[in-house]
Amino acid sequence: MSVSTGIQKTNNKPVNWQQIETVLLDMDGTLLDKHFDDYFWEQYVPEHYSLKNKITVAEAKDILLAKYKRQEGKLAWTDLDYWSNELGLDIPILKIKIDHLIKVHPYVIDFLTFCKENAKKIYLVSNAHGKTLDIKMKKTDLGPFFDGIVLSADIGMAKEDPLFWKKLQVKIRFDPERTLLADDTEKVLQSAKEYGMKHLIFIAKSSSRGTVTLSDDFISIYYFNELIDYEYETAK
């Protein structure tokens, strides 16, 4: 269970990097600032939907919120083609129009470099749609850090389903006991825990404009520099 808090402290514990072989990382809210996504879906899309349908932005927000909630946790939730058809808007084009808001979280590059230098396998594992991935990888240049990228559409289900991890393990061959997963969604971490994933990290500050949320159930961090073990790196 998560609790909103204003305290300037996280409840993280050191990661024993000698026990880690594989690092699985979410994209939106974890590596990238979720402000882009929040603004896009909560403000930018409603504005365009209101213009198209000749209603107020407030009315558009109410309609869209109901539509979003019906698809939450399903593959359609992040499917840009689905939303383009559903809303009558070119969602990928709208995303590109404000791609200047796509930002990498602080210390992400340092963390990815640390993992690379210490021979960890790094996989991006996201519920994001392929078109969203293309837009964000082009904007951030994070792609070369990953040994592979797996989207929920490749697996056939969202990360919230524990079966996702079983299918993922077949696809990329990782040991759950020696794998670290970082995500900003507790339901995803819980599904990974049910599957047997041992090292689970919750991102407490998914958006630079949002509130900090600490987890009661998982190690919480603000930024990835909290996971970098410089002594381990030096020892190597």
Average pLDDT, integer, range 53-80? 94
Residue 220 has pLDDT above 50, yes or no: yes
CATH topology for 2-33+103-235? Rossmann fold (3.40.50)
**Percent with pLDDT over 90 in the chain:** 88
pLDDT of residue 207: 97
Write down the pTM of the prediction: 0.91
Write the DSSP assignment of the chain as a string of letters: -EEE---S--------GGG-SEEEE-SBTTTB-THHHHHIIIIIHHHHHHHHHT--HHHHHHHHHHHHHHHTTSGGGG-HHHHHHHHTS-HHHHHHHTGGG--BPTTHHHHHHHHHHTT-EEEEEE---HHHHHHHHHHH--GGG-SEEEEHHHHTS-TTSHHHHHHHHHHH---GGGEEEEES-HHHHHHHHHHT--EEEEES---TTS--EEESSSEEESSGGGG--HHHHHH-
Listed by start position, the domains of the chain span: 2-33+103-235, 36-100
